[in-house]
Amino acid sequence: MNWQGITIGTNNEAVEAIAYILISAGADGVQIEEKAIVYVTAYYENNEHLATVVAGIESRIQHLKNIGINVSPGTVTLQNVSQTDWEDNWKQYYHSQRITRHLTVVPSWETFKPKQTEEKPIIMDPKLAFGTGTHETTRLMMQALESVVRGGESMIDVGTGSGVLAVAAKQLGVRSVLATDIDEMSTVVARENLKLNPIANDIKVVMSDLLVNVETEPVDLIVANILADVIERLIPQTIPMLKTNGYFLVSGIYDAIAPHIEEQLDFNGYTIIQKSQMGDWHSYIAQLKGSE
C-alpha cells in the first residue's frame, strides 16, 4: 500500500486550523516543521478517494481565507510515501499520552503500564480516522466528559471518527454509547478500535449525517468534536434527543467562529455551563435552559 504526504505551507497564525482540517479529512496526525514557512504534513492512503480528500482540504483552506484567517502562502503539495515509511514515521510520532487524570491514549503497538490505579487506557489504532487524543479539541472533550460523567449515563457520540471519545466515555462510567459518523471508513476504523477495548464492545456504531435518522430514546449526553460549520447544523438536532437536564458537549471550534457558536447555542435554548480553551480551540458544556 502506498500513501501520499500532503504538505501545507502556512504560518503560525493558521497552524492549528490547518492541522484540524488535515486530521478531520482523515489523517492520523500531523507533523509540523517550522522554518521561514511553517510546513504542516499529514498522510493519506493513495487510493480512488484521494482526489476528493485533496479537493476537500483545498476547499476548507479557502474557507479559512474567506473568514479572515491568514493562511499564506497556503501552498498544497503531495509526495508519494511507501507503506513502510508511513508506518515508521507514524509510530515514531504517536506514543502513549496521559490526557486527563483518568484517561491515557495508548497506540495498539505499545504496552499499557498504569502509573496510578485510577488511570484508564484507551487503546487506539487510528489508521485514517480523526481522534488520536493528541489534538487540542479531543483533549478538551475528554476533560469535559470527566466534568459531567457521574456513571450510568446514556450517550451519543456524533462524528465518532476513531471512536476515541466513545471509549473514553465507557472508561469513565457511561453505561451505553451510540456512535455515529457520516464517513464509512471512520465507522470501520471505530469498530476495529472498539474491539481493542473490551469495555467498549457493546457500543453500537452507525452511519449517519449527524443525527439525521438516528433512532434512539433521549439520552443523558451528546458529544460532538467536529467542524464548526457542521456544529451549527447539529445544534437544533440535539434538542429532541436529550433528556431533561441532559448535556451537550461540543468542540472543534476555533477562535474566529466561537462567538457565533455561542449565539447559536443560546438561540436554540442552551445555557453554557462551562467554556474551555486550549490554544485557538474552544469547547463548551451546554445544558438546555430551564434545567437544574
Instruction: Calculate the CA dihedral of residues 185, 45, 251, 234 and round it to 10 degrees.
Output: -40
Does the pLDDT of residue 258 top 80, yes or no? yes
Distance CA 37, CA 21 (A): 18
What type of residue sits at position 141?
A: M
Q: How far is it, in rounded angstroms, from Cα 133 to Cα 228?
A: 19
pLDDT by residue (tens digit) across 107-161?
888 888 888 889 999 998 755 444 556 678 889 999 999 999 999 999 999 999 8
Kindly report the CATH number that applies to the domain delimited by 2-92: 3.30.70.260
Backbone angles phi, psi at 32, to 5 degrees: -120, 125
The pTM (predicted TM-score) of the whole model is 0.75
Q: Which stretch of 25-29, 54-58, 104-108 has the lowest confidence by average pLDDT?
A: 25-29
Across 270-277, average pLDDT:
96
Domain positions in the chain: 2-92, 94-288
Q: Return the CATH architecture of domain 94-288.
A: 3-Layer(aba) Sandwich (3.40)
Q: Is the distance from CB of 123 to CB of 196 less than 8 angstroms?
A: yes
pLDDT at site 211: 96
